[in-house]
């Protein structure tokens, strides 16, 4: 992981469909050398993949919320993430230090769907929940790609 690798990663974070030809010109390396480095970055897991970034509202997911979750029985074995994995509305699941055990980020279309989701979270994971609704998103998913 040298400066060239960091440069490649930064470029691909900014434009995931950039061609290896352009990438080579950008960083001053031959197409095949860039190709080889990208492959190794993928093999090492530095680059986890490439994805399209979608406007959630365009998919009818206008409501984002954070849900903090705490097991009702603190003595029970903690398999909360496994119990929530099938709920596709749950985009992120973080295990956290603090009063609550997990923070979830969820996206739904309507308040009614949020209500239904909260019920499913509580029964699936046997947890109590505390919900914080997102009003707007000044910025999101900014990726630091280099130092």
Contact by Cβ (8 Å): 125, 67:
no
75 binds, among a second copy, DNA, none (CB under 5 to 8 A by kind): none
Give the number of other CB atoms < 10 A from CB of residue 2: 7
Which residues lie closer than 8 Å to 25 by C-beta, 6 or more apart?
none
In which element (H, E) is residue 112 found?
helix 111-125
**Cα separation, 7 vs 13, whole angstroms:** 10
Q: Is residue 63 within 8 Å of residue 109, measured between CB atoms?
A: yes
Find out whether 98 and 87 touch, Cβ atoms under 8 Å: no
Residue 31 binds: one of a second copy, DNA, none (C-beta under 5 to 8 A by kind) = DNA
CB of 122 to a second copy, least distance (A): 18
Instruction: Tell me whether residue 37 or residue 107 sits nearer to DNA (CB atom).
Output: 37
CB of 141 to DNA, least distance (A): 24
Q: How far is the C-alpha of 124 from the C-alpha of 144, rounded, in Å?
A: 35
Site residues, DNA (CB under 7 A): 4, 19-22, 29-33, 35-37, 40
The stretch near a second copy (CB under 8 A) out of 25-33, 59-67, 69-77, 116-124 is 59-67
Binding mask 104-133 for a second copy (x = CB under 8 A): ---x------------------------xx
For binding to a second copy (CB under 8 A), which residues are involved? Answer: 1, 6, 9, 12-17, 44-55, 58-61, 64, 66, 81, 85, 88-98, 103, 107, 132-145, 147
């Amino acid at each position: 992981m040298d400066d060239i690798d960091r440069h490649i990663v930064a470029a691909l974070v900014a434009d995931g469909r950039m061609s290896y030809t352009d990438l080579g010109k950008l960083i001053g390396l031959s197409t095949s050398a860039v190709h080889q480095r990208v492959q190794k970055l993928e093999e090492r897991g530095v680059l986890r993949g490439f994805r399209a970034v979608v406007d959630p509202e365009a998919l009818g997911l206008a409501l984002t919320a954070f849900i903090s979750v705490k097991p009702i029985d603190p003595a029970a074995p903690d398999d909360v993430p496994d119990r929530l994995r099938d709920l596709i509305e749950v985009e992120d699941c973080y295990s956290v230090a603090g009063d609550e055990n997990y923070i979830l980020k969820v996206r739904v279309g309507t308040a009614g769907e949020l209500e239904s989701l909260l019920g499913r979270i509580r029964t699936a994971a046997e947890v109590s929940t505390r919900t914080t609704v997102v009003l707007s998103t000044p910025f999101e998913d900014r990726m630091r790609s280099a130092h």
